[in-house]
Structure 1
Amino acid sequence: MSGPVLVIELAEAVPRGSVRRLREFLVRSSSRFAEKRVGEYDLNIHAESLGIADTGGVDGRRPVVVSLVGPGLGDEAVFEAEHADEVGQEVLIGFTPTNAVDVIAFCDKPVDHVVTALLTAAVMDVIGGVANVELREDQVPIVDGLAGIVATMTDPWPAAYGSAEFLRAWARQPGFRLLK
């Protein structure tokens, strides 16, 4: 079963030192860690390592993939496909993304939505970037006033761009849930 997905937009390829620090963080925070290629990690993240105490009665080890994509990182075709419909990002976030990081949960329990948001924020703490979050229409007013919000849009689909602070603030909102 697939779960929520978040994307971190990057203005440039991630330096090797930052990739190394990201890998070290993920190894420390995981009960299972597999490196498919440099910058692509298949893991079971410890929810507790992200500050999540309530896992809703499910195992706190949540399956996730973290994948750096784009020129110089790998999976260039994935980056191109994901960004084919993205227009005008420079106006919204101040740059046109050249690379990205995909954070993909493999389960869809409420804890997986929180894990995805907080893991994405933790990855951003290491490598920077701006989170690109697709929303339901009714979520736009909720996120619009949160700390760390960079921009929201409703056309061609509802979305928000924000910092790690934004993701953490949103994950604390009652009924928090990411759109797949």
Structure 2
Amino acid sequence: MGGPALVIELAEPVPHPAIERLRNLLVCASSHFEEKRVGSYDLNVRAESLGIADIGGVDGRRPMLVSLMGPGVGDEAIFEAEHADEDGLESFIGFTPTHAVDVIASCNRPVDHAVTALLTAAVMDVIGGVANVELEAGQAPIVAGLPGVIALRADSWAAAYGSAEFLRSWARQPGFRLLK
């Protein structure tokens, strides 16, 4: 069963030294790490490595995919498909994305939502970017006042755009849940 997914929008390609730092972060946070290609990783994140102590009796190793995509790095078709209907994104985040990183959980327990948000924040600490978070109905008022929110979108689909600080503060909110 698939779990939540977040996207980090990037204004430019990620330099090779930053990709190496990302790889090191993921190796250190994981009990299993497989590099499918440079910038694309299959891993089992140790929840405690992200500061998540109470995991509700489930295995602390959470299966995740982290994939850098865009021209010159791979998954160009996925990047284009994910961004095909996002005209005007520059007006929300200040740039038109050229690359992105998908952070995808393979399971859908509450701990997987927290791991997805906190792993995405940690990745952003290394490579920068803006988190693109699709929202469930009723979540916009909850996230609107959180630190690090750059913009809210409420047109054809609700979304919040923000910093790593935004993701961390939202993950601490009671009842936190990402859109699956």
**TM-score normalised according to structure 2 size:** 0.99
Q: Where do 1:1-180 residues align within 5 Å?
A: 1-180=1-180
Whole-Å Cα distance in 2 between the matches of residues 138 and 59 of structure 1? Answer: 31
For structure 2, the residue ranges without an aligned partner over 5 or more in a row are none
Segments ≥4 residues shifted beyond 6 Å: none
Which string of whole-angstrom CA distances, capped at 9 and with x for unpartnered residues, describes residues 39-80 of structure 1?
000000010010000111100000000000001211100000
Which string of whole-angstrom CA distances, capped at 9 and with x for unpartnered residues, describes residues 122-172 of structure 1?
000000000000001200000001000000011011000000000000000
**TM-score normalised according to structure 1 size:** 0.99
The number of residues matched between the two structures is 180
Supply the RMSD in Å over aligned alpha carbons: 0.5
Whole-Å Cα distance in 2 between the matches of residues 111 and 60 of structure 1? Answer: 9
Whole-Å Cα distance in 2 between the matches of residues 102 and 5 of structure 1? Answer: 7
More deviation in 70-79 or 123-132? 70-79
Q: What amino acid is aligned across from residue 69 of structure 2 in structure 1?
A: V
The percentage of counterpart residues that share the same residue type is: 74
Q: CA deviation at 1:105?
A: 0.2
